[in-house]
Amino acid sequence: MSPESFSTTPIEADMAQAPVGLLRFVRNAGRSLLSVIPSETLHALYVKGPARIHYLCDPDLITRVLVTDAANFPKSRVTKNILGSAIGNGMILSEGKVWKEQRRRYAPLFAARNLPVLARTFADTGDRLGRDLASTAGTVDVSTLAQNASLSDITQVMFSGSQDVDPAEVKAGLARYTAYVAEMSLFDLMGLPSWVPRLKWLKSKAPVTDMRRLARTVILARQGENREEPQDFLDLMIDAVKADTEELDQTVDNLLTFVVAGHETAANTLSWGVYLLALYPEAQEALRTEILAACPEGPIPYAALEAMPRLDAHVKETLRLYPAAAFFARDVAQDVTLGDIPLRKGDALFLPIYALHRNALLWDAPNSYRPDRFDGAKLARGQYLPFGDGPRVCIGAQYATTEIKILLASVLRCVRFSLSHRPIPKPLVTITMHPEGPLHLRAAPL
């Protein structure tokens, strides 16, 4: 399909049009990190920020930070402050030996051989979502629907099977927990020590304590069943620690880490992916034709995804335009020169993935929807990073993209999406990139 077919430009995020001082950065970043990132990052490979902040959009320098010299650029203290109270010392935040042990332990869990098992749950959720949309056709908030679908998947693959836990209780608890994680504290952004109380802690820590209790309950119950064959994600996770010495609290940390990372990525990417297809009906019809040819009815199996290259390209382009992980941060561990940029120990490196993916020096028509740019094209390393890179690349990337593809394909077999009369919300970035408000589209049954 020719690029001219997609002449309308998808909605863009608001970025800072003038230099942002440190005080304004701290004050405004809690609403959306993109609001304080200079728009210069869309046209430059390096921008000096306020105080000791540096913005990088240079693929070579980013590769050095994330891959070749990753040990000298650890996870930012700000990131640890924001997430630490909710997910503990799981794989996202741990460093050194602890991180290496966790990565070794859980890497097999996300191997491709396990995806067919997990895909069955995704397909069941997708079928239910498609049927619900077809029966309640009209203007719908796809953002809320996507959040509910992702929570349903998590409930089934990570928290099911215990008679002591009600699935409805788990789903409600997960909704409260993920909302708690997404609420950023001013003190976190200021980099204050973790022992300084945060306002959201004073409101209530119940979303975290309740979810940790539920996680402990389902893990212990599942361990007691001692199943011979894994049937879902939790089984695979229990299997990964059978011959290990991981403490239960650490297993809980990692289960909640996978919840946070998997839920937000899938839900937000699904929302933006449906929006793009509503914006470009010709692309939507071509994609639907491909899906129906590969799997016209019944739950979509993992193997069927191989026959859907258009779907793969569409998801990749959605993650380029609206990366769920739209912002990475690293600290500088020692004085170093990065390219020709002198850095001091304690400096902060901000990698604005949203700007990297739309940088005019790196992409043709960077703000346009062109899924054909992924048709066999060889991209420079460090140019396209929806899941990061290097030793700390997202361990669940295949899990997330499989869930997104199956949910999207399942829904497109049931309904046709189009724009409604309501405005499209702008993208915001807190923990992940998400719509500023309800994303209303029209859904018509096929």
CB of 78 closer than 8 Å to CB of 191: yes
Residue 62, both tokens: 């980013």
Q: Quick one: pLDDT at residue 204?
A: 63
Sheet with strand 348-351: strands edge to edge: 46-48, 53-56, 348-351, 328-331
Sequential pLDDT tens for the chain (446 residues): 444 445 589 999 999 887 776 666 666 666 677 888 899 999 999 999 888 889 999 999 999 999 999 989 998 877 766 666 666 777 777 888 888 888 888 888 788 888 898 898 899 999 989 988 888 879 999 998 998 888 788 777 776 655 556 667 777 777 777 677 666 555 555 555 565 555 555 566 788 888 888 888 888 888 888 777 777 778 878 877 776 667 888 888 888 878 777 777 889 999 999 999 999 999 999 999 999 999 999 999 999 999 999 999 999 999 999 999 888 889 999 999 999 999 999 898 999 999 999 999 999 999 999 999 998 778 999 999 999 999 989 888 998 999 999 999 999 999 999 999 999 999 988 778 889 999 999 999 98
3-state secondary structure of 315: helix
Q: Quick one: pLDDT at residue 442?
A: 96
Sheet with strand 440-445: strands edge to edge: 138-141, 440-445, 415-419
Characterize the bridge pairing of strands 348-351 and 53-56: parallel
Q: Quick one: pLDDT at residue 257?
A: 79
Q: What are phi and psi of 369, to 5 degrees?
A: -85, 110
Task: Put residue 96 in one of left, alpha, beta given phi > 0 → left and psi -120 to 50 → alpha.
Answer: left
Q: Per-residue b/e over 150-163, b at no fewer than 16 CB within 10 Å?
A: bbbbbbbbbbbbbe
Name the residue with tokens 């992916």. Answer: 273
Q: Quick one: pLDDT at residue 4?
A: 44
Characterize the bridge pairing of strands 341-343 and 336-338: antiparallel
3-state secondary structure of 352: coil
Cα separation, 180 vs 218, in Å, equals 21
Exposure on the CB side of residue 122, measured as CA atoms within 13 A: 27
Assigned fold of 3-445: Cytochrome p450 (1.10.630)
Neighbours of 411 (CB within 10 A): 28
If you ran DSSP here, which 8-state letter would residue 400 be given?
Answer: H
